[in-house]
Amino acid sequence: MIVDNIEKKWQKLWNLRNPNIGDHLRFELAEHVHGLPGFFRAYNRISAIANIVFPNNLIGVVAYYPNQVYKSKKSKSGFKELRSKGFQAKKLDSWETKIYDDDEVYHKFRSYDLKGHEYDKDCLYWYSVINRSRNKPELSCWLLDPDELIMLYIYDDRGMALISADIRKLKPIYDHFNSWILDYDRERIDKIYKNL
C-alpha cells in the first residue's frame, strides 16, 4: 500500500464531489429510522459497502474541530476522545485545511492505517453515524484506498458518499446496492451509471 501523499489523495477525491453535478454515489443509511434500530441499519450498510470497496488497503482520515457546545474544561480533542475509546490504529500523517471552501475554520486532519483493525473501523463508523449529536467532539471521517483512489465519506446517520477518480470502479457498487441510493439523488446517479 502506498501511504505517501495521503493529504493530496484525500484532497483530489474530495474535490471530485459535487452534490449537483458530481459522479459520486450517495447512499441512504438511516435517515427515517431512529434510535438503536437506525444505528444498526446505518452500521450494517456502511460495513456492507466498505467490506467490498476496501478488501485490501484502508486508510481512515479523521478531521476534528472544537464544537463550542461540547467544549468544556474537561473535554478532550476528538483525537484524544477516539484514543480513550480504544482506537489504536497507527497515525500516518497530519495536516490542517478547510473541509468546505466557505468554512471559517481550519480542521485538524489525521490519517490512520486501518488494515486489520476491525475495532478501529467500528469506532469511525460509530462516530460518523452519531455525527449530528451535540454532546461529543465534532469528527468527520473518511475511508480511503490510496492505491485505487476511492473514498467513502460517512457524513452522519442519514447517508454517505462514495467517490472515485474512475467511475467505472463504482458501477458494481451501484448495481449491487441500488436500492440504497438516495431517492433525491437517484435521477442524477441513474443518468451516469445505469448504462455505463
pLDDT digits (tens, 9 = 90+) for 168-177: 999 999 999 9
pLDDT for 48 beyond 90: yes
From residue 109, alpha-carbon distances to 8, 106, 142 in Å are 12, 9, 11
Residue 106's pLDDT is what?
84
Residue 66's pLDDT is what?
64
Place 19 in a pLDDT band, splitting at 50, 70 and 90: low
Q: Burial code of 53-65, b = ≥16 C-beta within 10 A, e = fewer?
A: bbeebbbbbbbbb
Site of grid cell 452522519:
156
Backbone angles phi, psi at 157, to 5 degrees: -65, -10
Q: What's at 18, amino acid-wise?
A: N
Q: How would you class 93 by CB atoms within 10 Å of its CB: exposed for 0-12, middle for 13-18, buried for 19 or more?
A: middle
Taking alpha carbons only, the member of 143, 64, 139, 140 closest to residue 107 is 64
Query: Is beta strand 90-97 parallel, antiparallel or unpaired with respect to 107-113?
Result: antiparallel
Q: Give the neighbor-by-neighbor strand order of the sheet with 159-164.
A: 25-28, 159-164, 150-156, 138-145, 59-65, 107-113, 90-97
Average pLDDT, the chain: 85
> In percent, how much of the chain has pLDDT > 90?
52
Taking alpha carbons only, the member of 115, 109, 135, 140 closest to residue 125 is 140
Residue 69's pLDDT is what?
47
Taking alpha carbons only, the member of 115, 114, 133 closest to residue 38 is 133
pLDDT for 123 beyond 50: yes
Place 166 in a pLDDT band, splitting at 50, 70 and 90: very high
Contact 83, 139 (CB under 8 A): no
pLDDT, greater one: 26 or 105: 26
- Other C-beta atoms closer than 10 Å to the C-beta of 83 total 14
pLDDT digits (tens, 9 = 90+) for 131-143: 665 556 678 899 9
Mean pLDDT of the 38-64 span: 92
Mean pLDDT of the 147-157 span: 90
